[in-house]
Amino acid sequence: MTKFPAAESVSIGELVDLTGKTALVVGGAMGIGLGIVRRLHEAGANTVLSDINGAAAEQAVAEFSESDRIHAVVGDVSDPEDAEAMVRAAVDRFGALDIFVNNAGIYGISPFLETSLETARRTLEVNLLGVMACSQAAARQMIAQGSGGRIVVVSSIESLTPSLVGMGHYGASKHGVAGLIKTMALELAPHGISVNSVAPGGIRTPGLGPLDDDVLDAFEAVVPMGRMGLPDEIGRVALFLASDLAAYMTGTQVVVDGGRTLRGAAV
């Protein structure tokens, strides 16, 4: 007897239903992270929202004041002890960890010749080593549970091609993530754990504060769809990757950029 159900035997509602599952979203207090939290929670998941900014995390959770399926924790993804603690918090609160979403990241505009190694190291610590530390902690828990799981990493189109000048250190970190998830996918597949990433283009979030209007206008001008994306548009794809709609996907990067990478060169 086959161990896989016939596709037509599962309804669309069942495929996206996360009831009874527990998700941990790091970097989940605002912007793309909060967009992901909203969609996972809507799909029925118990959701732990983590952020390095405790006040922002608590403020985000207040949005779901009538729900007992959401919880906030504080942690720095680049600290392996914090990574373990965030996973433990999810398990202590809801009994398991089934879905892990790494959205935490930092960036800044800095011309290559002016970028200090200190800035580059911190970017790599958060954007690349943070993915590794948190994914290791999450995967160990999923393996111990013995029921598989989903790991979703929010990367960037900078892992494919430069979209703005002055982001070499950021692009390097995202190229590293693109390579890392492939090895993670290979090694974790035997445990029933899928590893995929979503690569956003320009998304309208509070994190765009360092960019002035001229830079944003120039970016939008080369997006074929004529606008920047919204956090919820990444949240929808993260939900897809976390659900059984993506049951036969691993090691894949889904680009969500309004067609920006079709234009190639950085603005």
Q: pLDDT for 133-179, tens place per residue?
A: 999 999 999 999 999 999 999 999 999 988 888 999 999 999 999 99
Q: Average of pLDDT values for 23-50?
A: 97
Amino acid 262: pLDDT? 92
The amino acid that residue 16 corresponds to is: V
Structural domains in the chain plus CATH codes: 11-257 (3.40.50.720)
Provide, rounded to the nearest whole percent, the portion of the chain with pLDDT above 70.
94
Nearest to 25 by CA among 42, 45, 50: 50
> What is the average per-residue pLDDT within 219-238?
94
Question: 74: which strand partners?
Answer: 51
- Label residue 6 by pLDDT band (50, 70, 90): low
Q: Under 8 Å CB-to-CB from 228, ≥6 apart: which residues?
A: 201, 202, 203, 204, 216, 219, 220, 258
To the nearest whole number, what is the mean pLDDT of the chain? 93
In this structure, of 1-5, 171-175, 231-235, the range with the lowest mean pLDDT score is 1-5
Report the pLDDT value the prediction gives residue 131, as an integer from 0 to 100.
98
> Pick the residue with more confidence: 1 or 255?
255
Q: Which residues are catalytic?
A: 170
What's the confidence (pLDDT) of residue 1? 35
pLDDT score at 5:
54
Pick the closest to residue 253 from 263, 243, 238 (CA basis): 238
Which amino acid is it at 230? Answer: L
Strand blocks (E) in 168-223: 193-200
Quick one: pLDDT band at residue 211, thresholds 50, 70, 90? low
Label residue 2 by pLDDT band (50, 70, 90).
very low
**What mean pLDDT do residues 53-62 have?**
95
